[in-house]
Chain A
């Protein structure tokens, strides 16, 4: 069974430019998470979806970040415009009926 797929793996952009990350969760997993991981830190939740519904986006900086999960399967996280402080790894995770979360490899964003 394929794991959580994320693309791109790496992205370098100049500040003020837009950027988008894509995630395809494990087949059948209804819950999808986007996390931010700064260097040397643990993941921090940005947004959680249950199927198509964003049920927890309290930590998402809505002035510049947006996310969508159309049809309750894959998801896109967008930043517009990017700032230097957005440089980090963006992780996607999914979970099914159990408690276990499965993470993708992440997208490493560098804003110059």
Chain B
């Protein structure tokens, strides 16, 4: 059973547009929700993360929106650039066990 469900599987956005990737979970033991960016041939790199006691976190063009009651969180990439073209993974951590579960990934293509 997928602990973290991610959508869409792929996304095409025009340069300057907003990219939105969504994730949903059921396990209320999750206490930390990171997003990773992965380029081909590279390992995932931490992009931005949020704790469940905060509803939004913004770092530059990247924003996480977190809805604790709905058990959903999303990544918004403002002013998307071709250099943002990569695969994005959401994840969630079970605090007591320091164990991470990953979504299935979203392949983002930003058209020039």
A interface list, Cβ under 8 A from B = 4, 31, 33, 40-45, 48, 50, 56, 91, 93, 95, 99-106
Contact = CB atoms under 8 A, between A and B. Distances in A.
A41 B98 contact: no
Interface in B26-84: 32, 34, 36, 41-46, 49
11 contacts: A42-B102, A42-B103, A42-B105, A43-B89, A43-B102, A91-B43, A99-B32, A100-B34, A103-B43, A105-B43, A106-B42
A68 B20 CA distance: 40
A42 B103 CA distance: 6
Nearest to B32: A99
Contacts, number: 51
Given A42-B103, A42-B104, A43-B102, A101 B41 contact: no
B97 A43 contact: no
A56 B99 contact: yes
Given A40-B105, A44-B102, 5 more contacts: A33-B100, A43-B100, A56-B97, A105-B43, A106-B43
User: DSSP class of B's interface residues: helix, strand, loop or mixed?
Assistant: strand
Size bin of chain B's contact surface: 20 to 34
B49 A100 contact: yes
B105 A41 contact: yes
B15 interface: no
Given A42-B89, A42-B104, A91 B99 contact: no
A12 B78 CA distance: 40
- Closest 6 CB pairs between A and B? A42-B102, A103-B43, A99-B32, A103-B44, A105-B43, A42-B89
